[in-house]
Amino acid sequence: MALGWPREQVLLIDEDLGRSGASAEGRPGFQRLVAEVGLDHIGIVLSLEISRLARSSRDWYQLLEVCALFSTLIADADGVYDPQTYNDRLLLGLNSHAA
């Protein structure tokens, strides 16, 4: 909202705080995120640190694929990425394993 989006257009998903990102299993927030992107309800995923969204490559690349299919951007403090473009997908893949 501080970036200018109206409150009704912002969906905060924080159910997974304090849970391991090793797998989407047991992470209802991550599963909800993937579902909302897949329903084309989300235009951009904002995260403080994208490497914290998923530790499992399988889960991370599933999210990237769904974001690419539905033209959903991904952003963190370092930048805004378009998973439809090769270079951004490469950076997202590298960034997800940085931490």
Give the CATH number, domain containing residue 87.
3.40.50.1390
Q: Domain range for residue 40?
A: 12-95
Per-residue model confidence as pLDDT tens for the chain (99 residues): 887 889 998 888 887 766 655 556 778 888 899 999 999 999 999 888 777 777 677 888 889 999 999 999 999 888 899 999 999 988 887 766 554
Residue 61: per-residue pLDDT: 87
Look up the pTM and report it. 0.82
Contacts of residue 2, defined as CB under 8 A and 6 or more positions apart, other chains included, come to: none
Number of domains comprising the chain? 1
Tokens of 43: 């235009």
The answer to the question of residue 25 being in a domain is yes
The pLDDT of residue 49 = 77
H helices of the chain, where?
A: 28-38, 57-69, 86-95
